[in-house]
Structures are given as C-alpha cells and as structure tokens.
Amino acid sequence: MCATVFGSLTYLSLTKTNMANDFWWANYNASREHVFIARMYNRETVLRPEANSIALDDHIFVDDTNYSSVLATAVGVSMPSLCVSQIKLADATKLEAVVRGLRHMDACMAP
C-alpha cells in the first residue's frame, strides 16, 4: 500500500504542470481565451438574442484585442446589468419554449 501511495504522489508531482489546465499543455494559460469567448457570448446575446447557432470561425467574430501582451490590469468582461433579468423574464418563463427545447435536445446532451 505504501508503494501505491508513493507511486500516486510521484505521478501527481511529475505531471502537475501538464494537469494544471484542461488542455494538458504545460505552462498554458487559458484565461485569455475564456475572456474572448465570454465577450463574444455577451455581445451576441445583446445584439442577436434570437440567433439559434453561430459559427465561431466566421470572420465577423475577429477580435482585435491583444491577449498575448502582459497588461498592468486584468482583462475583464463587462456585461449589461439587466441582461440576466431580461433573459430570465423573456425566455426562461415560456413553458412551451422550454418543453420544445427539451424535446429537440439530443439525449446525450440532457442533464
């Protein structure tokens, strides 16, 4: 049992740089990609709330922000203050839309 614990601890200590992110890339920081996706999601929910699907590789989603530079302040994501309330009141309360969405959902994607 001691050998198993020692082997597990050794494995975890040797792979901690690779296991530090979801991509298993050593020394990779995905926080800037999260900011890009969050900004794009917020922009699209405000500008096109009725759009069903979007292609992330479309040229209209080009972002000119330099995420690779080291900034003195953190890169932030801004969101309209009433956006969550608007979505909750507009979309989440329509029972027909919720049932229709659940019926069209792939069974593997269900919660």
Residues spanned by the domain of 63: 2-109
pTM exceeds 0.75, yes or no: no
The answer to whether the beta carbons of residues 24 and 30 sit under 8 Å apart is: no
pLDDT tens digit string along 30-79?
777 777 788 888 777 777 767 777 777 788 777 776 666 666 666 677 77
Res. 6 pLDDT band, cuts 50 70 90: very high
**CA separation, residue 49 to residues 8, 43, 94 (Å):** 48, 9, 15
Is 53 buried (19+), middle (13-18) or exposed (0-12) by CB count in 10 A?
A: exposed
Count structural domains, the chain. Answer: 1
HSE of 42, CA atoms in CB hemisphere, 13 A: 15
Distance, CA of 5 to CA of 44 (rounded, Å): 49
